[in-house]
Structure 1
C-alpha cells in the first residue's frame, strides 16, 4: 500500500500537487497560459504554412515537383531528428531555456528564408525549422502542465490545443489577404521580397514574441523538484503565490515539498568530460529508463498511439484539400453527376499551372469550415476535461476518426467530402492534442520531456510513412492508404484502452477515514494516526484536514 501525501496542520510539508494548489489561480497563471497558447499558435503556423507558400515559391524559384516533395520531407525529417535532442536537454537543462532558444532561433531561420532568393536555402530553412519547432511542439505542453495540479493538466493542454487549431483557421485568412498582393523586389540576387515572403515574415512574429516573453517567466518548479533542487522549486511556488494572491512571497505556507514517490528526488547529473559526450550519455540513460519496468509498457502503448494518430493526420489530412479541388473541378465539368473517390483519383483533371498568387475561395471556405469544426471539438474537450479523462476522450475521438476515414472511399459528392472531412479533421486533430496529454500524464517529471519527445518522434515516422503511402498508391489504389488510416484510427483507440489508468486519490473526511480503517484500528487510534503521524495507509484517500 502507498502512503497518501498531504499537508500537515501547519502546512509546512506537502506533496507537489497540494503545494501548487495552494499557490492559487490568478495573474501568474493567466500570463503563463497566454504565452503557452501563443507558442502553440506559432507551432501550428510552422506546420501548416507549406500549403500556402510552396505554390508561389515554386513559380518564383523554378522549383520542380521532386524538389517540392523534398521541401515537404525536409520539415518532417528535421522534426524527427530533433525529438531526442530536445527531450534530453529539457529533462536535464530545463524546459524554459529550450523553449526560448528554439523559438528565437526559428524566427532567425524564417527571416533568412524569407529574404534569400535561393531554393537550396529554402530547403535547408525548412529542415532547420522542423528541427527547431519540434521543441515547442512538445515541450510547451510539458511546461504548462507542470505549473498545475494533475486534475487541471488536461484542461490546459486542451487550451493550448485551441490555439494550435486556431492557427489553421488564421493561415488561409492571412494567405487570402497577403498572397494576392502584387509587388516584387530583388536586390542583386542577395535580398528578395515578394508576397509569399511577406507572409512568412508575418508568421514569424509569434516566435519572436514568445521567445522574449518567456524570459519573464520562471523554470518549471516540477523540473527543479525532479532535479532535487528543493529551494529553487519553493522559490518559484512562492513567486506564483505572491503574484496570484497579491501578498508577500514569504506568506506561502509550504516550507518543504515531498517529491515523486514520496521522497525527495536526487539529481542525476552525469560527470563526463566534454559537453557532447555528456549529452549523449544523458540521452542514453533517459531512453533506457523508458524501456525498463515499470515504464516500458507505457512507452510501447504511447508511442504506438502517436504513430497511429499522426499516420492519419499527416497523410489523409494533408491529402483532403487536394480532394476538395478535384471534386470541385469534376462537378464544374460534369454538373449534376456523381463520382467515387476511386474514380476521381484516377482522373487526370486539368490544373491551373499559372504563377498567379491567387487563392481559390472555395478552398479557403472548406479549410475554414474544417478548422472551425476542429476548434469546436477542442472547446468541447476543454469543457469535458474536468469530468472525463484525456484517455477516454482520445479513445472515442480516435475510433470516430478511423471510421470517418474508411467512409471516404464511398464518397460521391463535394458536399459529402466536406462533411466527412470536417469529422475526420476535427476528431483526428483533437485526438492528437489529447494524446499528448495522455503521454504527459503517463510519465513522471524526471523523464517526462524525453517521453513526450520519443512519442512524437515515432509519430512523425508515422507521418512520413503515411505521406509515402498516399503518394505511391493514391493514383491507382486509393483504397489502400484510406483503409490503412481507418485501421490505425481503430488501433489508436485500442491502445488507449490498454493504457493503465492514472492513480487518482480523492479527499476523505474524518468519518470516511474511520470507516475505512475500522477493521484495523479503533476510531480513536485511527484519529490519532491521522493527526500525529499525518499519514494514512490507504492508496485511494487523502485525509482532508
Structure 2
C-alpha cells in the first residue's frame, strides 16, 4: 500500500480498517450503554416491591422515576465542556467508577429521601459517559461503518433493556431480608447493588483504550492522534505501527503538538492560572457556532423533537412495569376488567389502605410471572432493532424512518386507551416502544454527523438533556393527568407525538455524510 503523505481524518481512519481494535471498543461500550439503561429504568422495576417497604405514595413514585433524569439535566453542560476540552477518555473512566460507587450508595438507602438523593447523583454522573461513548465510537470509525456503529448503540441499549427485566424475574421474587447493624436490606436493594456492575466495568475497560484521534486532531495534537491511529492500524491488520501508510494528518486546526506535549514545567502559579483561564475561554469559544446559523436553528429543532418524544416514551416505559404488576394483581384476584382505565383507577384511587391488604398485594407483586410481560416488551425491542439493522444502510430508509415511525407511534400510543386486555396492552406497548427506540437512535445518529467535533458531545448532551427534562416533566405530570380522568393522559401523549412528528417533517439530514 502506497504511503499517503497527508490525509484528513476520514482517509486516515479508513486506512485503519475494521478489526480487533474495533471489536474491543464496541465491547467496551456495551457496559456504559447498559449502565445508562439501568440507571434510568431500575426504579421502575423495584417500585412494586420498594413501595411496600418505603410506603410510597403515587407522587413519590413519580418523583423517584424523575430523580435520575433530573440529575442528568443538571450535569449535562459541565460534562459536555469537560469532554470537548479535556477529552473523551477521562469522562468514560472517571464517570464509570464514580457512577458505580453512587449506585451502590443507592442500594444502601433506608428511606425515600436517601434513595431519591442517590438516584439523583447517579443521574448526575452517568449522563456524561453515556453521551461521550456515542461520540467516542463515532470518532473511531469511518463513514463505511459509522451507520452500523450508531445502530449498535441502539442495539446495546435494547440488550440492556432486555437484561433488566430478566434480572428482575430471577431476583426480585426471592425473599431476602437481613440486618447489618442499624441498616436493613431487602431484595430490591440487592437488585440495585447488582446494577452498579456495568458502570464499574465500563470505567475499568476504558482504561485500556486511547483518546479519540478525531478529538486530538481538533485540539491540534496531531502527534498523539497519529500514534492513536497507528495503534488501531497495527491491531486491526496485525502489522507494525511503522507500516501505517498515513504519515501526516491534516485538519482545519493548526498543529500545536509541540506546545501540548512539551509543557514548560517552570511556569509560575500566576502563569498556570492564566493558561487554565485561557483554556476555559477557548473551550467556550468553541461552542460559539452553536449560537449561530446554521447550527442554532437545526439544534433547536432537534431539542424540541427529542423533548416531546422522550417525554412521551418515558411516560409509558417507566410506568409500564407498574401497569403490568397491577394487571397481574387483577388476574390473581379473578377480576375481569383489565382495561387501561381500570388499571389507572386502581393506581390512583383504589390501592389498599389497611396493612393486611397492602401485604397481600405486595406478595402478589413479588410473583415472578409479573415480570414476563416486561421481558416480552424488551425482547420485541431487541428483535425490532435486529430486523431494522440492515435497512438503515439504505439512504432513503435512514433519512425517512424517523418521520414514518413517529407518525405510526401517534396512533399506537392513542390505541392504549382502548386496550381492554393485557395481551392488547402488551402488543401495542411493545411495538410503540420499539419504534420509539429506533427514533431515539436515529436522532442521535443524525446529530453525530450534523455537528462538528468540538461541539459534538456538548450538543449530544443538550439533546439528551432536553429528552431527560421531558422525562422529569412527564413523570411529574402523568400522575396528575391520571387523577383528572382516564382519557386525559392519552390525549396529552397523542398531542406530544403529533408535535414531534410535525417537527420531524422539517429535518433534512444525510446521515451518511462525513464527520466535521
TM-score using structure 2 length = 0.87
Offset from partner CA, 1:321-366 (integer Å, 9 cap, x none)? 333344455566676x667544653454456622549534443111
Aligned equivalent of 1:457: 465
Aligned equivalent of 2:481: 473
After superposition, where does 1:99-118 map in structure 2 within 5 Å?
A: 99-115=92-108, 117=110
After superposition, where does 1:384-423 map in structure 2 within 5 Å?
A: 384-388=391-395, 390-423=398-431
Q: 1:376 aligns with which of 372, 383, 386?
A: 383
Q: 2:223 aligns with which of 231, 246, 249?
A: 231
Matched, 1:142 2:135: yes
1:61, distance to aligned residue in structure 2 (A): 4.6
Contact persistence 1:15–1:258 (CA under 8 A): yes
Question: Which structure: larger Rg?
Answer: 1
Aligned equivalent of 1:300: 300
Contact persistence 1:42–1:203 (CA under 8 A): yes
Q: Report which stretch shifted further, 136-145 or 390-399.
A: 390-399
SS in 1 for 2:210: coil
Contact persistence 2:16–2:233 (CA under 8 A): yes
Q: 1:365 aligns with which of 359, 372, 387?
A: 372
Distance 2:206 2:253 in 1: 28
1:106, distance to aligned residue in structure 2 (A): 0.8
Aligned equivalent of 2:358: 353
1:73, distance to aligned residue in structure 2 (A): 2.8
Distance 1:167 1:15 in 2: 36
Distance 2:184 2:314 in 1: 31
Distance 1:296 1:427 in 2: 28
Distance 2:404 2:70 in 1: 30
SS in 2 for 1:301: helix
Distance 1:431 1:356, change over 3 A: same
Contact persistence 1:157–1:437 (CA under 8 A): yes
Distance 1:198 1:87 in 2: 32
Contact persistence 1:154–1:390 (CA under 8 A): no
1:166, distance to aligned residue in structure 2 (A): 1.5
Unaligned runs of 5+ in 1: 1-7, 507-545
Contact persistence 1:398–1:493 (CA under 8 A): yes
Q: 2:124 aligns with which of 116, 128, 131?
A: 131
Contact persistence 1:88–1:282 (CA under 8 A): no
Distance 1:85 1:219 in 2: 19
Aligned equivalent of 2:171: 178
Q: Report which stretch shifted further, 33-42 or 279-288.
A: 279-288
After superposition, where does 1:168-247 map in structure 2 within 5 Å?
A: 168-189=161-182, 191-247=183-239
Contact persistence 1:83–1:457 (CA under 8 A): yes
Offset from partner CA, 1:403-429 (integer Å, 9 cap, x none)? 211222222222211111111111112
Contact persistence 1:289–1:295 (CA under 8 A): yes
SS in 2 for 1:375: helix
After superposition, where does 1:213-362 map in structure 2 within 5 Å?
A: 213-259=205-251, 263-264=252-253, 273=273, 281=281, 284-329=284-329, 341-342=340-341, 345-346=344-345, 348-350=349-351, 353-354=358-359, 355-356=362-363, 359-362=366-369
Q: Report which stretch shifted further, 165-174 or 235-244.
A: 165-174
Q: Report which stretch shifted further, 485-494 or 279-288.
A: 279-288
Distance 1:364 1:319, change over 3 A: same
SS in 1 for 2:7: strand
1:381, distance to aligned residue in structure 2 (A): 3.0
Aligned equivalent of 2:505: 497
Q: 2:88 aligns with which of 74, 84, 95?
A: 95
Distance 1:425 1:222, change over 3 A: same
1:67, distance to aligned residue in structure 2 (A): 4.3
Contact persistence 1:311–1:459 (CA under 8 A): yes
1:117, distance to aligned residue in structure 2 (A): 3.8
Contact persistence 1:392–1:496 (CA under 8 A): no
Distance 1:192 1:325, change over 3 A: closer
SS in 2 for 1:182: coil
Contact persistence 2:38–2:160 (CA under 8 A): yes
Distance 1:413 1:427 in 2: 22
Contact persistence 1:147–1:221 (CA under 8 A): yes
Aligned equivalent of 1:24: 17
1:493, distance to aligned residue in structure 2 (A): 3.4
Q: Report which stretch shifted further, 18-27 or 296-305.
A: 296-305
SS in 2 for 1:257: coil
Distance 1:505 1:312 in 2: 30
Distance 2:419 2:47 in 1: 29
Distance 1:276 1:86, change over 3 A: farther
Distance 1:436 1:138 in 2: 9
Contact persistence 1:301–1:495 (CA under 8 A): yes
1:13, distance to aligned residue in structure 2 (A): 1.7
1:209, distance to aligned residue in structure 2 (A): 1.4
Distance 1:463 1:283 in 2: 29
TM-score using structure 1 length = 0.82
1:455, distance to aligned residue in structure 2 (A): 0.8
